[in-house]
């Protein structure tokens, strides 16, 4: 797998097919051991190979190291999603029975939370912190500036950046 190929060529697809057939079982077993769950391991293995396929990588020197790296990123995202889901479901247990949303609404809320989480992770750390202090903490911009040790105009710039990111999410 050391030749350089066009990402959409039949040869590229054969390289990916060889990668899949040669390393699928190994990756699946590795993930199954790590997760202790065959279904999740199968899903994450497929996600890994899907990511490799769409990445248009044309040169892979060390297939297992490459697959491990891709799978690790997918696994981190998966753990973050699971933690967010657990937190949401835990919060639901504290609601009166009549206020618990339907399974359909829970699904929509979880998907929205995942999108918001991804949007927040795309922000620089201080922008994210300023946004959360404002929106979750209810702090005024002056208080945020003081807490972050930046000027008021910087907080306004941070908030503009965060709100622009929110607008992109809505569109």
User: What would the pLDDT profile of 118-154 be if each residue is shown by its tens digit?
Assistant: 888 889 999 999 999 998 889 999 999 999 999 999 9
What integer is the mean pLDDT of 7-29? 84
Look at residue 102 and tell me whether its pLDDT is greater than 80. Answer: yes
| DSSP symbol at 60 | -
- pLDDT tier, 57 (very low <50, low <70, confident <90, very high otherwise): confident
Phi and psi, residue 101, nearest 5°: -70, 160
What is the C-alpha to C-alpha distance for residues 139 and 12, in angstroms, rounded to an integer?
53
Please, which residues have CB within 8 angstroms of residue 44's CB and are 6 or more apart in sequence? 31, 35, 71, 74, 75, 78
| DSSP state letter for 97 | G
- Mean pLDDT within 80-86: 89
Distance, in Å, from the CA atom of 61 to the CA atom of 19, rounded to the nearest integer, reads 11
Write the CA distances from 135 to 72, 90, 123, 132, 164, integer angstroms. 32, 22, 15, 5, 14
pLDDT of the residue at 144:
95
Q: Is the pLDDT of residue 8 over 50?
A: yes
Report CA Rg, the chain: 21
Per-residue pLDDT tens for 36-47? 999 999 999 999
The SS3 assignment for 67 reads helix
Residue 26: per-residue pLDDT:
97
Lowest average pLDDT, out of 32-46, 55-69, 98-112, 126-140, goes to 55-69
């Amino acid at each position: 797998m050391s030749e350089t190929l066009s990402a959409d060529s039949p040869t590229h697809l054969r390289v990916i097919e060889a990668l899949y057939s040669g390393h699928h079982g190994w990756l699946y077993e590795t993930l199954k051991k790590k997760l202790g769950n065959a279904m999740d391991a199968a899903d994450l293995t497929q996600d890994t190979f899907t990511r490799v396929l769409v990445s248009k990588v044309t040169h892979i020197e060390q297939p297992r190291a490459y697959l491990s790296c891709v799978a690790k990123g997918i696994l981190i995202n998966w753990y973050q999603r699971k933690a967010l889901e657990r937190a949401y479901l835990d919060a639901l247990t504290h609601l009166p029975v009549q206020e618990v949303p339907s399974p359909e609404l829970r699904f929509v809320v979880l998907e929205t939370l995942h999108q918001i989480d991804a949007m927040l992770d795309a922000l620089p750390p201080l922008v994210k912190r300023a946004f959360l202090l404002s929106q979750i903490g209810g702090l005024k911009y002056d208080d945020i500036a003081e807490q972050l040790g930046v000027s008021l105009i910087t907080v306004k710039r941070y908030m503009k950046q965060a709100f622009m990111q929110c607008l992109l999410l809505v569109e």
